[in-house]
């Protein structure tokens, strides 16, 4: 930047002359094709003086192409592999829903029967299409007729689908049972178990083919006497596998809950998604128990 400061008409004229001479000298010395662009403006400063402010802009080269940062080049790879559905005939539109590759017939080749036609479209411009989606392994995870408003550049990720599936995974109803069923005795084992559930797996509803599966892990029992929670095998029938011995008589409110190990699957194939919950606990169920002291009877 070249700045010449003078005040008054004569000073302004001299400034223009000096500026022209200096600019000419630059052109003579640096007469290369890439000449700097120079813009000069006459401005008045706060003290009343006039100032010629000249800004020089040199043209840059072609430069590097820049990095492929997010949104920079516009060539961001889609979140799914669309080549997995390139062989389907009638795939009029292809797009990603998370990591699932989907295609639709628009308009659909064959319409559903009247008894399967939906009641209301979500929007006025929605059309009824046949849609099929495949997972990253190329296996179909969902298909059927649905309302369609256009290709979706971004759909729910596998993580979001897994969390949605986990939200619909529920533990079975049960009650906390114990033996003796009413009154227990100090220094005699009391047995605990979960009455009602089976020892089998539990499964959620499918979220675009993604399901959450719970495998029985253990039960947790709090005898209610201040000793704390103890961990037992997943016991669903009367046995001594989960036992506790009270050392004080009294009325206690015991409680217990079920604990499952959780994993996720898509179309029967396991999904390894880091950072998601790997366990599910039921709510606590309470049970009251009376613990008595043993009575010795002396027979003469």
Give me the residue label for tokens 């706060």: 46
* pLDDT band at 264; cut points 50, 70, 90: very high
- Phi, then psi, of 27 in degrees rounded to 5: -65, -35
Say yes or no to pLDDT of 3 above 70: no
According to the model, what pLDDT value does residue 132 have?
85
Nearest residue to 43 via CA among 33, 35, 34, 53: 53
According to the model, what pLDDT value does residue 95 have?
82
Please list, in sequence order, all residues whose beta carbon lies within 8 angstroms of the beta carbon of residue 83, skipping any fewer than 6 positions away.
none
Instruction: For 39-73, write each residue's pLDDT tens digit.
Output: 555 555 555 554 545 554 444 444 334 334 343 44
Q: Average pLDDT, stretch 62-89?
A: 59
According to the model, what pLDDT value does residue 102 have?
86
Q: Average pLDDT, stretch 82-96?
A: 79
d(CA 118, CA 223): 53
According to the model, what pLDDT value does residue 97 have?
77
More confident residue, 137 or 190: 190
Instruction: For 144-194, write each residue's pLDDT tens digit.
Output: 787 777 765 455 677 888 888 999 999 999 999 999 988 899 999 999 999
Out of 3.30.1280.10, 3.40.50.1820, 3.40.50.150, 2.60.40.10, the CATH code matching 167-292 is 2.60.40.10
According to the model, what pLDDT value does residue 23 have?
40
First-to-last C-alpha distance (Å) of the chain: 121
According to the model, what pLDDT value does residue 19 have?
34
Which of 92-101, 149-158, 263-272 comes out lowest in average pLDDT?
Answer: 149-158
- Phi, then psi, of 165 in degrees rounded to 5: -65, -40
Instruction: For 97-134, write each residue's pLDDT tens digit.
Output: 777 888 887 777 777 777 777 777 777 778 888 888 88
Say yes or no to pLDDT of 87 above 70: yes
Instruction: For 188-228, write each residue's pLDDT tens digit.
Output: 999 999 999 999 999 998 887 889 999 999 999 999 999 99
More confident residue, 30 or 156: 156
Taking the domains of the chain in order of start, what are their residue ranges?
2-57, 82-155, 167-292
According to the model, what pLDDT value does residue 41 have?
53
Say yes or no to pLDDT of 9 above 60: no
Residue 79, phi-psi category: left (phi > 0), alpha (psi -120 to 50), beta (remainder): alpha
């Amino acid at each position: 930047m070249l700045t010449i400061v003078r005040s008054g008409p004569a000073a302004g004229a001299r400034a223009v002359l000096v500026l022209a001479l200096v600019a000419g000298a630059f052109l003579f010395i640096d007469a290369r094709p890439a000449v700097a662009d120079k813009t000069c403006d006459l401005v008045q400063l706060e003290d009343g003086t006039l100032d010629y402010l000249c800004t020089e802009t040199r043209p840059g080269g072609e430069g590097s192409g820049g990095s492929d940062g997010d949104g920079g080049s516009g060539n961001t790879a889609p979140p799914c592999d669309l080549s997995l559905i390139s062989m389907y005939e009638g795939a009029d539109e292809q797009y990603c829903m998370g990591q699932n590759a989907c295609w639709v017939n628009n308009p659909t080749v064959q319409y559903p029967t009247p008894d399967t036609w939906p009641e209301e479209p979500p929007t006025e411009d929605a059309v009824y299409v046949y849609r099929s989606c495949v997972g990253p392994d190329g296996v179909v995870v969902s298909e059927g007729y649905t309302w369609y408003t256009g290709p979706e550049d971004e759909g729910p990720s596998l993580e979001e689908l897994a969390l949605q599936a986990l939200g619909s995974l529920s533990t079975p109803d049960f009650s906390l049972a114990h033996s003796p069923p009413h009154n227990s005795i100090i220094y005699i084992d009391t047995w605990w178990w979960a009455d009602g559930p089976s020892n089998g797996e539990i499964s959620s509803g499918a979220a675009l083919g993604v399901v959450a599966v719970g495998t029985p892990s253990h039960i947790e029992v709090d005898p209610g006497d201040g000793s704390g929670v103890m961990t037992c095998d997943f016991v669903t029938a009367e046995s001594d596998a989960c036992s506790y011995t009270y050392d004080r008589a009294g009325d206690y409110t015991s409680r217990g809950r079920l604990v499952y190990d959780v994993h996720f699957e898509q179309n029967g194939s396991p999904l390894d998604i880091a950072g998601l919950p790997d366990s599910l606990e039921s709510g606590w169920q309470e049970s009251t128990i009376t613990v008595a002291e043993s009575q010795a009877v002396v027979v003469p």
